[in-house]
Amino acid sequence: MKRVLSAAVFLPVFWVIVKKFHPGVYEILVTVTALLALRELYRLAAARGHRCHRFLGALVAVLFMASFAFAEFDIRYAIALGLIALPLASLWRGGDWGSALADIGTTFFIATFIGVLFGYLIDLRIINDLPKGDETGSDLVFLLFFVVWSSDTAAYYVGTTFGRRPLAPRVSPKKTVEGAVGGVAGALLAGFVAKAWFINRLSVIDCVILSRC
């Protein structure tokens, strides 16, 4: 029930942020969320023994996102910073060079992973030249989260109610095959709801593809 209540409260708030507020508000929200995700991944890397350059990694990730938000900002700035500053920081820190190479690679990969993927969330919002219809990038953003939240909620409730067969016990012991099927069904239903509600250009095939992503 908590997930349903959270979605019932958060979805309207998110819709207002995406549709009614200045795009900069959404971009700040995405950036803050990206930095929180970055911190979590660096924490997991530290638990595996990596000494990541967290500040430089955060800066690289922000530069990656900036290259999506601003057309005049070249993505090569982020790449150059990562390839130049991270080895220099490792030299300054000292220690075993073999471990330092692993730390550099881990830092840069996580920063790129977060920066590029969250950068696409920013890029999706600013699309304003869709080929047909009245939909905008903000509609695509809300569609994405609407489908994901619906799928996640359906997977959780179907899995906890009917789940019997583990899906990937070594990766996530509580995930079940039944929950995965429920998630696909929830995403499919969300796609059809979105088609009827706010993004009419979706075809039946589009809704099916969304349920499989």
Q: How do residues 66-112 score in pLDDT, each as one tens digit?
A: 998 887 888 888 899 888 988 898 888 877 777 888 899 999 999 99
State how many domains the chain has. Answer: 2
The answer to whether residue 39 is domain-embedded is yes
146, 86: one domain: no
Query: Which two three-digit tokens encode residue 63?
Result: 């530069």
176, 142: one domain: yes
The answer to whether residue 6 is domain-embedded is no
Distance CA 161, CA 155 (A): 10
| Full-model pTM | 0.81
Q: How do residues 2-22 score in pLDDT, each as one tens digit?
A: 666 776 778 888 888 888 888
